Amino acid sequence: MTDQPQDAGDQLAASTSEASLRRTEARSAEIEAQIAVDPSQFRVMTGDRPTGNLHLGHYFGSLANRVRLQDAGVDTYILVADYQVITDRDGTGPIFERVLGMMADYLAIGLDPEKTTIYAHSAVPSLNQLLLPFLSLVTESELRRNPTVKAELEATGDRPMSGLLLTYPVHQAADILFCKANLVPVGKDQLPHLEQTRVVARRFDERYGRVDPARPVFPQAEALLSKASTVLGLDGTKMSKTKGNVIEIGMDAGTTANLIKKAVTDSDRFITYDPQNRPEVSNLIMLASLCTGRDPVAIAADLGNAGGGGLKKLVTEAVNEFFAPIRARRVELAADPGYLLEVLRKGNAHANEVGEATLAEVRAAMNMTY
């Protein structure tokens, strides 16, 4: 009875506590320093659900960081998490178009298929098969206590918990471990999943043992929290497609201008950067800052008495100028779906090779090589 999993529910919940968050941030800074010296120690894995087009919140919150890591020489795996689409909704929607749109977004922002492997859940059977042994390593009660699963369940209203919603953190462990990634650039909301991934890797080692006695089959994956500030939506709340407060990466300049024109500001004509008391105005300033590389306080000072109108004009120019080359590339890419599919298929093929090798090791550790 020694290898009965201890319930890790508390551990998962604690991963988002203030103290734990500060430790993770400090560790992320150390990892960044190591990447600068030797990027070859790391394999990065992360991904997105193809539920809609990627937007500026995604870009500044995580996509730009992936391109930076890729360009720093870190081996990078990006998952089009198509099976995760059906965790909290019925049906896949226009998934084919969405996946192609996401491929266009990825390549337009600078993810390079020569350096980065882009692949989809549904195309990598070995990844999905890992879910079986992994599910043997977790308890129902710890899954129920995962704070991110709880939050997602609440967000679906009165929907009952599906088996997939309950277990998707274990599937996400398979996403990370099928390629033995040791670094996962994510936001805070994903930290419980990473803790779950470490728990799965550790328990696999305890229960099924090793093939190479010198190292466990699966590494302990760490989070890389990005320093990037969160860009809010045009109403000052979280940028989210369902709220209609989103600027998509692929929108054209005119649509962007119209959306920013409708953004929420406040009645004080004098522009200041004050995220605490003026969240909507400050968010717009931050957006201009991210696009121009200028300090937000300096931007506000320049605007002075320009009012909401002056601010919006500046933000529109900044966003449209910054994204112009990305959008031009995206238009070209979107016109060539054959190429986008080819890139995805190449990524899938590579992911299958890597996943098969891992699965062979898993079978060997479990004495299931026949």
Which residues are at the interface with ligand TRP (CB under 6 A)?
45-49, 79, 81, 84, 172, 175-176, 184, 186, 190
Q: Which residue is nearest to ligand TRP (CB)?
A: 81
Among residues 60 and 273, whose Cβ is nearest to ligand TRP?
60
The distance of closest approach from Cβ of residue 220 to ligand TRP in the complex, given in angstroms and rounded to an integer, is 15
The distance of closest approach from Cβ of residue 278 to ligand TRP in the complex, given in angstroms and rounded to an integer, is 29
The distance of closest approach from Cβ of residue 195 to ligand TRP in the complex, given in angstroms and rounded to an integer, is 13
Among residues 296 and 355, whose Cβ is nearest to ligand TRP?
355
Residue 222 bridge partners (DSSP) = 183
Residue 238 makes CB contacts below 8 A (sequence gap 6+) with 57, 230, 232
Among residues 79 and 107, whose Cβ is nearest to ligand TRP?
79
Q: Sign of dihedral through CA atoms 96, 101, 102, 106?
A: positive
Tokens of 318: 């900044």
The distance of closest approach from Cβ of residue 45 to ligand TRP in the complex, given in angstroms and rounded to an integer, is 6
Residue 25 makes CB contacts below 8 A (sequence gap 6+) with 225
Please give the Cα distance from 76 to 78 (Å, whole number): 7
Do 343 and 118 meet the contact criterion of CB atoms below 8 Å apart?
yes
Per-position DSSP letters for 206-250, written without gaps between them: HHH--SSTTS-SS---EEEE--PPPPB-TTSSB--GGGT---BTT
Per-position DSSP letters for 339-366, written without gaps between them: HHHHHHHHHHHHHHHHHHHHHHHHHHHT
Among residues 178 and 322, whose Cβ is nearest to ligand TRP?
178
Among residues 51 and 289, whose Cβ is nearest to ligand TRP?
51
Per DSSP bridges, beta strands 75-80 and 116-120 are parallel
Among residues 192 and 250, whose Cβ is nearest to ligand TRP?
192
Residue 232 bridge partners (DSSP) = 238
In 3D, which of 104, 109, 110, 113 has the Cα closest to residue 323? 109
The distance of closest approach from Cβ of residue 129 to ligand TRP in the complex, given in angstroms and rounded to an integer, is 16
Among residues 134 and 322, whose Cβ is nearest to ligand TRP?
134
Please give the Cα distance from 156 to 243 (Å, whole number): 14
Please give the Cα distance from 63 to 105 (Å, whole number): 10
Per-position DSSP letters for 101-165, written without gaps between them: HHHHHHHHHT--TTTEEEEEGGG-HHHHHTHHHHHTTS-HHHHHT-HHHHHHHHHTTTPPPPHHH
Among residues 187 and 309, whose Cβ is nearest to ligand TRP?
187
The distance of closest approach from Cβ of residue 266 to ligand TRP in the complex, given in angstroms and rounded to an integer, is 31
Among residues 46 and 245, whose Cβ is nearest to ligand TRP?
46
The distance of closest approach from Cβ of residue 178 to ligand TRP in the complex, given in angstroms and rounded to an integer, is 10
The distance of closest approach from Cβ of residue 202 to ligand TRP in the complex, given in angstroms and rounded to an integer, is 18
φ, ψ for residue 95 (rounded to 5)? -65, -40
The distance of closest approach from Cβ of residue 194 to ligand TRP in the complex, given in angstroms and rounded to an integer, is 8
Query: In what helix (H) or strand (E) does residue 46 lie, and over which residues does it extend?
Result: strand 43-48
